[in-house]
Amino acid sequence: MAEVVSTSDKRTAVTDTLRSVQTLGDALDRMNSGMKGDMDMNASDLATLRMLTIREHRGQMVSPHDVATHLRISTASTTKLIDRLEKSGHLERRPHPSDGRARVVVLTDKSRREFFRHFGVHLAAMRQVAAGFDDAQLETIVDFLDQLTESITTTD
């Protein structure tokens, strides 16, 4: 028979979980700060590369407007950011495949290599931790993290 969890125990578990999420966020911030310095980029540059990596993995195209919306910066600032990343060889502007008037931004092979070179050690360590959980546990973790991300993501 399943054990009944008291409200106070559940609140403690929720608090402990959110504290762990906060600690993870702090560790990711420190990791990203290190990568910023190593790659000679500012926070917006790195956030753009992370966004492009995630969207590429999902098979989603990214427009300059998507970058501006994601970073919550002006069109002018987005143009400067994309110009800087294009000049450094980290991304390219390409015509949109179905709308000839629109442009998309994509990662370059150089960017993928450099990103992996700086992130690879951390990725290997995270994979090792994840490998210690079975598929059902990982599905629960993914669901939790996806819902948590959705709950704090605004579209305004």
**Residue 105: both structure tokens together:** 């931004």
pLDDT score at 4: 55
Q: Is the pTM of this model over 0.85?
A: no
For residues 102 and 106, give the distance between their C-alpha atoms in angstroms, rounded to a whole number.
13
| Angle (deg, nearest 10), helices 75-87 and 64-71 | 110
As a whole number, mean pLDDT of residues 77-99 equals 93
CATH 3.40.50.2300 fits 42-152, yes or no: no
The CB density around residue 146, as the number of other CB atoms within 10 Å, is 10
The pair of structure tokens assigned to 123 is 């990725």
- What residue ranges do the domains of the chain occupy? 42-152
Confidence of residue 8 (pLDDT cuts 50, 70, 90): low
The residue that leads in pLDDT, 94 or 36, is 94
Distance of CA 38 to the CA centre of its chain: 18
pLDDT at 145: 94
Over 60: is that where the pLDDT of 41 sits? yes
Confidence of residue 143 (pLDDT cuts 50, 70, 90): very high
Share of the chain above pLDDT 70, in %: 88
Alpha-carbon torsion (55, 58, 60, 61), positive or negative: positive
User: Is the pLDDT at 6 greater than 70, yes or no?
Assistant: no
pLDDT at 156: 44
Phi-psi region of 125 (alpha: psi -120 to 50; beta: other; left: phi over 0): alpha
CA distance 65 to 73: 10
3-state secondary structure of 45: helix
Q: Give tens-digit pLDDT for 80-90.
A: 999 999 999 99
pLDDT above 70: residue 2: no
DSSP 8-state code for residue 96: -
Averaged pLDDT of the chain: 87
Q: Which SS3 state, helix, strand or coil, does residue 81 take?
A: helix
Is the confidence at residue 64, as pLDDT, over 90?
yes
